[in-house]
Amino acid sequence: MTSPDFGPNVILLDPSMPVDRINETLQRVEKDSDPWAKARTAIYLLPGTYGKPAAQNAQKAAAGYINSVVGPMTSIQGLGAEPGDVVVNGNLRIIGNLGTFWRSLQNMRINPIDPESPGALRWIVSEASPLRRIDISGDLDLGVGHVAFGAAIGNTRVSGVVNSGNGRAKDVPGAGGQAHYYAQNSVFKGGWIGQSVNFVFSGVQGAPPTDFGPRAGKDGPGDKTTLGTTPVSRDAPFLFVDRGRYSVFVPKARMNARGIAWGLGKPNGDVQPINAYFIAKPTDNAATINAALAGGKNLLLTPGVYELDAPIDVTRPGTVVLGMGYATLQPVRGTSALRIGDVPGVVVSSLVVDAGLLNSDVLIEVGPKGANHGSAANPTSLVDVYVRVGTDISGKATTSVEINQNHALINHTWIWRGDLSPGAKGWETNAGDVGLVVNGDNVTVLGAYVEHYRKQQVLWNGDGGRTIFFQSEPPHDALTQSDRMNGTEKGYAYYELAPTVRTHEGIGFALYGAASKSTEPIIQMSEIKAPERPGISFRSVTGVWLFGHGQYLNTFNSDGRAVGKDIVPSFVPGIAATRQVVAWPDGN
């Protein structure tokens, strides 16, 4: 079989390769990976079985199994049409913490073999590290004994138990875990255990029942919110091999989905031949890429950093832009990185956008202002798309993502102004005002992490919007109150609806306050600002104060429900304060 030229940053593994050689390759990539360098890697497993199945029966004395940590800026994916076409006997693990980002697994079956955690896949990550289309024949450990702020699971089946860890425990073996998580359209046959701040499930068979809010018991209030279905969703496209030919599977949007979308006999999506794609390399410029798009090609971005002197323009309905190995777009002349025209059904997936040194007004624009050609049945979708303002350089962008098209969908994102990267050197260096602006109507956001922007994290102007799971933090690097003034009002909301919004729904918010570098207390008026009228509702909101000087005076508008140290107690060890709002308005 002849493979396309995917360039030097794509590694193809074959089941005929010796296990030791496969492990050496995987471990070398992990050792060389660096979240702030330009290296990116996509590892693909051709159909077949990897590692010895017998090792599953001798976990603590196993030999001949796949064994590697997955490093940053690395994606590992099976090349089968179904997850069961690529079987991994072993572990592709991450034992991480709050700083474990940008890595993923997709489209394979894993029979977990791990002498340190027999029968369980350990995937202990924070943001931008999803599991998609994975079939785990065993347990899934998301955080036992560690503290993490992760991530998302979609279209995945776990035969055993999913354990997010006990974030409510302290000074006992195994204490710690995920603070929050979002799981979507999956099957957890053994259920889910674990507790901490806020967990949201939509369309998950085996999800725990909703218990958010006050409950009897020594471990404090409940932290789970479960929706029977996901109103609208689209899974990530993926590369696969069938009878020696490379193709891309592009999932259709699912309405009111529940459970996995594979293994059902009829795939829910379209198969596109590889020759329908322009296979871009990091050496290609914007003009070359745009010419291919204008000529009717879809776009496959091989791993690397694309330094763009002009935006990538998507103008054809149904275009697919698919990244490999955290391929990264970076504007170098202060333009946008990606502009999507007023056309429906565009799918952008599995890539990163980094701000450049020259300020961009908007990094990702979905539809021009006033766009009106969105489709409810075939929404333009951003799936596993991430933004970074401040990485190895002090990038700048006024707004990171702007959604102008109606019915657009975001399915899992981390929109991030850097707080711990080499380029995050101060309030003015990696400047970013707003993370996400939504102007379109009937826009749906699923599993959004938006953090550290200098003004609002999310500013929503459109009607009929909906967010299911949202995690956010304000900037940590404001030095004085004057840095955080919204006119005469102190601070900015994490999530703000314009006064003109008539209908909106928000479910499952985890809002973390902090001010680690201030020389004085940073007071902020409201965590969420929204018109109080019929048609606008929020539920399962947790406000948290982590550390530093300051507080939020109100959870919603001017409701008086303050969040700050010594104002309300915390039900999570290591966190200064926590407050829950079960429902707003008219809630507890």
Q: What CATH architecture is 302-473?
A: 3 Solenoid (2.160)
Grouping H, G, I as helix, E, B as strand and the rest as coil, residue 412 is strand
- Percent of all residues in the chain with a pLDDT value above 90, rounded to a whole number: 86
pLDDT value for 58:
60
Closest C-alpha to 371, from 319, 297, 283, 442: 442
pLDDT value for 566:
85
Q: Which helix (H) or strand (E) holds 369?
A: none
pLDDT value for 588:
61
Tens digits of residue pLDDT in 231-277: 999 999 999 998 899 999 999 999 999 999 999 888 899 999 999 99
365 is catalytic: no
- Percent of all residues in the chain with a pLDDT value above 70, rounded to a whole number: 98
Q: Is the pLDDT of residue 177 over 80?
A: yes
Q: Say which range, 28-42, 53-67, 491-505, 568-582, has the weakest mean pLDDT.
A: 53-67
Return the higher-pLDDT residue of 174 and 52.
Answer: 52
Q: Which of 30, 473, 496, 527 is catalytic?
A: 473
> Alpha-carbon distance 326 to 451, whole Å?
20
Band of pLDDT at residue 187, cut at 50, 70 and 90: very high
The tokens describing 62, both together, are 């196993």
Grouping H, G, I as helix, E, B as strand and the rest as coil, residue 56 is helix
- Is-above-0.95 flag for pTM? yes
pLDDT value for 55:
61
> Alpha-carbon distance 562 to 557, whole Å?
11
pLDDT value for 59:
60
pLDDT value for 56:
62
Radius of gyration over every alpha carbon of the chain, rounded to an integer in angstroms = 22
Grouping H, G, I as helix, E, B as strand and the rest as coil, residue 123 is strand
> Alpha-carbon distance 273 to 80, whole Å?
15
pLDDT value for 289:
99
Q: Say which range, 376-390, 460-474, 542-556, has the weakest mean pLDDT.
A: 542-556
Q: Say which range, 114-118, 173-177, 403-407, has the weakest mean pLDDT.
A: 173-177
pLDDT value for 325:
98
Q: Is the pLDDT of residue 60 over 80?
A: no
Band of pLDDT at residue 176, cut at 50, 70 and 90: confident
Phi, psi for residue 20 in degrees, rounded to 5: -60, -40
Dihedral of CA atoms 437, 439, 440, 445 in degrees, nearest 10, equals 20
Look-up of token digits 């001798």: 58
CB 381 within 8 A of CB 234: yes
Return the higher-pLDDT residue of 519 and 463.
Answer: 463
Closest C-alpha to 476, from 512, 516, 510, 513: 516
Q: Is the pLDDT of residue 574 over 90?
A: no
pLDDT value for 61:
61
Tens digits of residue pLDDT in 325-368: 999 999 999 999 999 999 999 999 999 999 999 999 999 999 99
Band of pLDDT at residue 94, cut at 50, 70 and 90: very high
The tokens describing 513, both together, are 């306050």
Closest C-alpha to 438, from 388, 344, 364, 491: 364
What mean pLDDT comes out for the span 387-398? 97
